[in-house]
Structure formats: structure tokens, C-alpha cells
Chain A
Amino acid sequence: MPSFNTAVSRAALMLCGGLLAAACATSATAPPKEALPPPLPKDAVLPEIPQDIPPAPAPANQAALPHVVLMSMGGTIASRASTRLNITNYGGKEVQRVDPQDWVHDLPELGNIARVTTEDFRPPVDRPSGPETFEDLEMVAKRLNQLAQDPTVDGVVVTHGTNTMTEVAYYMDLVVKTHKPIVFVGSQRPWTGLSGDGPLNLYNAVRVAASKDAWDKGVLHCMNQNINAARDVMKTSAYRVQTFRGPDAGALGFADPDKVVFYREPVRRHTYQSEFAGFDYTSVPAVEVAYGYEEAPGYLIDAMVEHGAKGIVIDGTGAGSATTSQTEAIKRAQAKGVVFVMTTRTRSGRVQDTPRRRESHIVAGDDLQPEKARLLLQLALTKTTDLNEIKRIFDEY
């Protein structure tokens, strides 16, 4: 690999990134063009896929398999490192990323369960997957809405960095009008990591997306063999492979060796039942999150309002409490029309609609994590600023 440590190559990279972003931005009606990935260097680390064991033979009628679109938003699962033991500082400009076609090449087994086509929605090379802009999210949402309408497509798998993937999945759960499965997947270890979890996670995600039983269940998340609902799943461990679970509501089903099996379906409104689904959003109102702790100051809330926040989620203590200073700032902000939602930093359990909360005109965030309450409030605020109506929305979604 050439060195990227010169200002010139960095500028060139940024230009490439810009071009890629531009290419994605103009491709809302067609999948982004896949340029052939450059060949890997000879000493590149291979993924955790034993090369001395052959893949299972292909089934007789491959053409009859469901069509699954494998969409890359990047992530650890799309990252390489220069040694197998590097499972924390992988990626970076010097190391080539995993292109979507690399997955298909490395895992021919994917072709045994579905006709897989790939689409590339990765961020530019100089930006990690994860904190994408609203425009990035909307670009993907638009494409997912198209794929939902496309009769030749049976399911979609989306890869994403694990840090923020549950919010992205929940956003899609609210705005994509689909009966088909959309399955988010990632990995805790890079594609090159020793005992990397990526290959099996990807394989299982494609199995779920190809499963008829996965229809009508909202946006799904599948890692570590567990199938979870986008709304309820959260990342609970920084490095372990069993990181994704619901703090209360558990798995919907499992991608087990014998079959993909479902035990539960979500009751809250999602995808095809969502009043927010199927529209293009060019922008949504700014909503911020303020954390609760002893002596948490109100001036952070004032600052958010000053910067144009139309809604604020307070991630309160216990059953959903704010400090005195926060409470005063909330009143100041409410006078300016800012809408408040209360979640709880305990993560497990619900914030309830109590009489005192009603008196203080704060919407109960139910059991939503604050980052998800933020997205729901943003979408709610595109429709209304009426508190009763926003309460209804938080009760139903």
C-alpha cells in the first residue's frame, strides 16, 4: 500500500471521498455503481474462514433462491487490520476496507441461501462508519423504500458500525414502508480479526433476510445468532460479541443452525404500520439529548435552545427526574415552544405518564433509549407540536 502520510495524498483521498459521496447522493433512484475493488496486497490478512475446508455445494436450483440485497454502510464488519490480533485499532487510511463484493467472494455460502446483489453506501474512506449526517441516513432510507417496492427484491441486509447501528435501524423502522425483512448486521471484530464474528453474522443476517417468516416484523437486527427488534435492541458491551440485546424485551427469534425461527413479534407500530413511513424527509427539526446526574446544570439546555433545538430529550435519573437547575431551564425553553421528552438513564424500565409529569408538560419516553426517543421526537415534530399528539406517538411507537 502506498503511504498516505503526505498532504497531497490526503487531499486526493478527500477528493475521492467527496466524489463517492456525490455519486451516492445522485443515485437515489438507482443503486450506486460498483467500481471493482483494487486487489489486496499479497500479505493481507484473510478473514476467519477456514480455507482448508470446502464451502457447502450450491443447491440445485440457485435461480429460485430469494433475492437479497446486501447493502454496506460500512462498519467494523467492513474493516481490515494488518494483523489478526488487532481487534481494536483496525481500519484507518493505510488499510484497505472490505468492499461489498469481497464479502460475496470470501463467503460463497451466501450464494447457497440467496441471490445476493451488493450496494455500496459506505461513508467516504476518510470518515468512519457511524456518526453519519441526516443526509446520509435519508439517502439510505430513500433507497430502502425503493427496494421495499421492488418486486424483484425479497429482503435487504444492511451492515453498519455497531456503535450507532441501533438508532439507524430504529430510524429505518419508522420511515421505511416495508413488509419485507430489513436486517441490520455488524461485527465486534474486524473482518480480519482472529475468531472474527463477522462472517457468521453476515451469513445469518442473509438467512434471516431470505426467510419468509421474517416478513412483517419491522426492521430487524441479527448478530450472535439473536434476532432482535430494532426498537428494543441496544449495544450493552463495548467489546464482547454478545453485545446486542434488549434490556427488557428480549429476542424475537434466532438464526440457529437448523433454521431461522421466530417466537415473538413486536406489538409497537413499525414500518408498514408507521405514519412516518414512505415519505422523503429533506430535514427534520433539531432535537438534542441532555444527560441527568447530580447537579446537572440547566445552562446546557439553554445552550441547546439557543442553537435552535426544537425538542430536547432529558435522559433523567431513576424513573425520569431532572435536577432543579434543569427543571428551571426546561420551563424557560417550554416558554419558547421547545418540546421535552423524558427517558431514564437506568435503560431498563419505563418512564411513565404520571400526573406530575403531565403538569410539567413533559412527554414520557416510555422505555425508549434517549437516542431513539430523539429520532422519534424529530419525526413527531415534522407533523405536530401538540403535546397530546406527541404523547400518543410515544405510546404507539
Chain B
Amino acid sequence: MIHPFKLLLGACLAWTLAAPAGAADLPKVKLFTTGGTIQSRASNRDKMMEYTDGRKVEPQELLDALPELKAIADMSYLEISNVGTPHLHNTEQQLRLAKAINEWLARPEAAGAVVTHGTAMLEETAYYLNLVVKSDKPVVVVGSMHPWSAISRDGPMNLYNAVRVAADPGARGQGVMVLLNDEIDAARDVTKNNTYRVDTFVSRDLGPLGYADSDRIVFYRHSLKRNTAHSEFDVSNLSTLPKVDIVYAYQEADRAPIDALVKAGAKGIVLDDNADGFPAATKAGQAKGVVFVQSDRKGSGRVMLSDKAAAKGLVTADDLNAQKSRILLRLALTKTRDPKEIQRMFNEY
């Protein structure tokens, strides 16, 4: 737990650091690029969708486009990939990303890390990193809603602000953060809330941790959930993660998807809400050792701890949405298959 005063002190320090200095004195921030809209170009400036018809933005181009960064950080980069979100759904790459960030932050001279990412599944990668990064140095995941080629593109300012936060000692101990639209959100709590607007990332009940405003980086909240340096999860020696999938519930939802996933070898299943056919299929899956987590499709509020659910061996997701429950369950299953122990993890992370 970081003391509030420490954060304040950090914020003040960052302010004074904003004064011009030699590159050698500036905090060292590494940019890990994975792609996404922020690294996409379209054939026209007014093209805000289907913008895959232009040349991808290379990491060096991101840095070259923002000479302002030279005043706030000593930048370097490492390219992980240059793909849109749907293609990032790849465990090997997620493991490689975590290892690269951990290697960087373990170096004493490293101040922080910034990760570019497509926005559609940004919240999942951010939460995953929140659980497996072994450092309290700032890690900021950033994206954009408009492509790099668009008029009024949001990418440059988002990237600039993400670096400011990553370079800010006041951002230490806040876990992995997501920065778009001036807002600093906690990776655990933030979700994409709108398909196209620039204010898409919100933490529905809890709000942002703070802001990257022109005058300073400012924090109002500190998360109480375990993360990063305080997390028990370690993927450094793993070459894969357990298969976990999500089944969505709706009126007359069939049990068939659950049965099919069990058959396909899922080690865990997140049930996003409940339907008539689910309990029987859940019981059958549990008999084969599959762990089930109950989340809720409403998008805000908690799934309560209930004796009834616990008696059935069901883990409740608290206020994690289904996609984040899936990430936590994957990591939990690297440690245990005991629903009680996994429930502890869902209470703590």
C-alpha cells in the first residue's frame, strides 16, 4: 500500500521534472508497441472506420511525430507486434509482452513503460499486465479511437500523456493504468463503453484514478485491490496459459456451448449471467474438473458472495466483467483448481 503523501510528493517531483533537462537526466521510458488503431493509417483523413488500407505506423514514427517527448522522457521502444486487437488474441504474445516489460522494469535505470494497444480488447491486456507485472513502476496502456491518419486524431495526445504518466514518480504503486482522453483509469476497473467516441474508456462505478492535465498529472484515488508488485501470479516461466472461455446468458440460452467447451478441453468457464440450462451443464463440467466463475452481463455492480453459490462450487466474479474474470481465472488456474482458493483470488484482485 502506497501512502497518499508519497503520491503527493511524487506529483510535486514530477512537476519540477517537467523543466527542460538533458536527455541523460530524464526518466527512461520504454514504449512497447503491439499495434491497434493508434498505429493505423487509412487512405483518407476522414476515414474513421475500416482504416486498414494505409501503411501501419512504425514505433519510430510514433516517437518522431512527438518531439515534445524529448522534454519529458528519455525514450526507447520495443516492437512486440503491429496488429489490431482481434489478432492479439494470442497467449504466446501476451506472455512475451509481460516478459519484455518485466525485464525492462527490473533494470534500475528504467522509470516506466508505455504499451500501445488496439482498444477493443485493451482492457483485457491491461488487466492481465496488472496481475503479472512484477514492479510498482508505472505501466500505462494507451490506444486511440481515431486512426493516426485522421483529422482530429486522438492518438498523439494520448501517447504524449501516457509517457508523462509513465515518467511520473507519483504514478508508482497505482498498478497498470489505461490512458485515453486525459483520463487515468485503473486497468482492473476500466472498460470500453462506446464503439466510436473518444471518451469510450470509463470505470463505471469507481471513476478514474486521476488525470493527465496540462498543468500536472494528478491523482485522486488509489486502488485497494492487489496488483503488480503485490500480485502472486508469475508467468515468467510459462509457455502457455490454461484455456478459459466465456458463455453468455440470455433468454432460452442453450447449455450446448458449455458442453462443447468442456469437450474442447476448457479448464475454466466464465458464465456471464445465468440461464435455465446452465446449472445442469455446470455440474457436468465440474465433474470433469472444470472451474466455473459466475459474472454478470449488466456491466456494473457486483456478483455477491453467496453461500448457495459456494456450496455448488461456483466462484463469484465480484465486479469484474466476464472478459476480466476470464483473465484472472486463467492465472488462478496456473496455481490451483480449488474453487475456495480461487474465490479468495477473486476477492483480492
Given contacts A264-B224, A265-B222, A354-B214, 15 further A-B contacts (CB under 8 A): A232-B220, A249-B221, A250-B207, A258-B305, A261-B302, A263-B189, A263-B223, A263-B319, A264-B222, A265-B4, A266-B4, A267-B210, A273-B5, A350-B218, A353-B215
Residues of B within 8 A of A259 (CB): 305
Give Cα A259 to B218, complex, Å: 31
Give Cα A258 to B203, complex, Å: 22
B209 shortest CB reach to chain A, Å: 8
Beta-carbon contact of A250 and B206 below 8 Å: yes
Chain A 232-262 interface 0/1 with B at a Cβ cutoff of 8 Å (1 = within): 1000000000000010111110101111011
Pick the most buried of B7, B205, B305: most chain A CB atoms within 10 A of its CB.
B205
Q: For the complex, would chain B's binding face be called helix, strand, loop or mixed by DSSP majority?
A: loop
**Does B104 reach chain A (CB closer than 8 Å)?**
no
**Does B225 reach chain A (CB closer than 8 Å)?**
yes
A residues 334-356 near B (Cβ < 8 Å) are 350, 352-354
Measuring CB to CB, which residues of chain A are less than 8 angstroms from any residue of chain B? 226, 232, 246, 248-252, 254, 256-259, 261-269, 273, 350, 352-354, 364, 366-367, 396
Beta-carbon contact of B215 and A354 below 8 Å: yes
Beta-carbon contact of B214 and A258 below 8 Å: no
Residues of A within 8 A of B211 (CB): 350
Give Cα A273 to B214, complex, Å: 27
B324 shortest CB reach to chain A, Å: 13
**Does B213 reach chain A (CB closer than 8 Å)?**
yes
Residues of B within 8 A of A354 (CB): 214-215
Give Cα A350 to B211, complex, Å: 9
**Does B77 reach chain A (CB closer than 8 Å)?**
no
Query: For residue A257, which residue of chain B has the nearest CB?
Result: B304
**Considering the complex of A and B, which 9 residue pairs feature the smallest CB-CB distances, nearest first?**
A250-B207, A258-B304, A352-B215, A250-B206, A258-B305, A264-B221, A249-B220, A249-B207, A267-B219
**Does B239 reach chain A (CB closer than 8 Å)?**
no
Chain B 304-321 interface 0/1 with A at a Cβ cutoff of 8 Å (1 = within): 111000000000000100
B163 shortest CB reach to chain A, Å: 19
A285 shortest CB reach to chain B, Å: 26
**Does B208 reach chain A (CB closer than 8 Å)?**
yes
Measuring CB to CB, which residues of chain B are less than 8 angstroms from any residue of chain A? 4-5, 7-8, 189, 203-208, 210-211, 213-216, 218-225, 302, 304-306, 319
A134 shortest CB reach to chain B, Å: 28
- Within 8 Å by CB of A258, from B204, B208, B216, B306, lies B306
- Within 8 Å by CB of A269, from B4, B203, B319, lies B4
A-B contact pairs, 24 of them (CB 8 A): A232-B220, A249-B208, A250-B204, A250-B208, A251-B206, A252-B221, A254-B205, A258-B306, A259-B305, A263-B189, A263-B225, A263-B319, A264-B222, A265-B4, A265-B221, A266-B4, A266-B220, A266-B222, A267-B210, A268-B220, A273-B4, A350-B211, A352-B214, A366-B218
Residues of A within 8 A of B205 (CB): 226, 250-251, 254
Give Cα A263 to B306, complex, Å: 19
Q: Contacts A249-B207, A264-B221; is A256 near B304 (CB within 8 Å)?
A: yes
Give Cα A277 to B35, complex, Å: 50
Give Cα A303 to B214, complex, Å: 35
Query: For residue A261, which residue of chain B has the nearest CB?
Result: B302
Q: Contacts A258-B304, A258-B306; is A267 near B222 (CB within 8 Å)?
A: yes
Beta-carbon contact of A267 and B304 below 8 Å: no
Query: For residue A364, which residue of chain B has the nearest CB?
Result: B215
Query: For residue A228, which residue of chain B has the nearest CB?
Result: B207
Give Cα A257 to B304, complex, Å: 7
Q: For the complex, would chain A's binding face be called helix, strand, loop or mixed by DSSP majority?
A: loop
Give Cα A59 to B306, complex, Å: 19
Residues of A within 8 A of B206 (CB): 250-251, 263-264
Give Cα A45 to B178, complex, Å: 51
Query: For residue B302, which residue of chain A has the nearest CB?
Result: A256
Give Cα A396 to B216, complex, Å: 13
Residues of A within 8 A of B302 (CB): 254, 256, 258, 261
Query: For residue B207, which residue of chain A has the nearest CB?
Result: A250
Query: For residue A245, which residue of chain B has the nearest CB?
Result: B207
Q: Contacts A273-B4, A350-B213, A352-B214; is A266 near B304 (CB within 8 Å)?
A: no
Beta-carbon contact of B224 and A265 below 8 Å: yes
Give Cα A266 to B7, complex, Å: 11
Give Cα A127 to B216, complex, Å: 45
Pick the most buried of B189, B204, B221, B224: most chain A CB atoms within 10 A of its CB.
B221
Query: For residue B221, which residue of chain A has the nearest CB?
Result: A264
Query: For residue A366, which residue of chain B has the nearest CB?
Result: B218
Give Cα A258 to B343, complex, Å: 14
Residues of B within 8 A of A232 (CB): 220
A14 shortest CB reach to chain B, Å: 45
Pick the most buried of A226, A263, A267, A366: most chain B CB atoms within 10 A of its CB.
A267
B13 shortest CB reach to chain A, Å: 13
B346 shortest CB reach to chain A, Å: 12
Beta-carbon contact of B4 and A267 below 8 Å: yes
B191 shortest CB reach to chain A, Å: 13
B241 shortest CB reach to chain A, Å: 26
Residues of A within 8 A of B215 (CB): 352-354, 364
Give Cα A268 to B170, complex, Å: 13
Residues of A within 8 A of B8 (CB): 267, 269, 396
Give Cα A302 to B206, complex, Å: 41
Give Cα A232 to B221, complex, Å: 11
Pick the most buried of A226, A246, A264, A273: most chain B CB atoms within 10 A of its CB.
A264
Give Cα A254 to B207, complex, Å: 14
B1 shortest CB reach to chain A, Å: 8
Give Cα A396 to B224, complex, Å: 20
Beta-carbon contact of A264 and B4 below 8 Å: no
A89 shortest CB reach to chain B, Å: 34
Residues of A within 8 A of B304 (CB): 256-258
Residues of B within 8 A of A254 (CB): 205, 302
Residues of A within 8 A of B306 (CB): 258
B189 shortest CB reach to chain A, Å: 7
B343 shortest CB reach to chain A, Å: 12
Q: Contacts A264-B221, A265-B222; is A246 near B207 (CB within 8 Å)?
A: yes
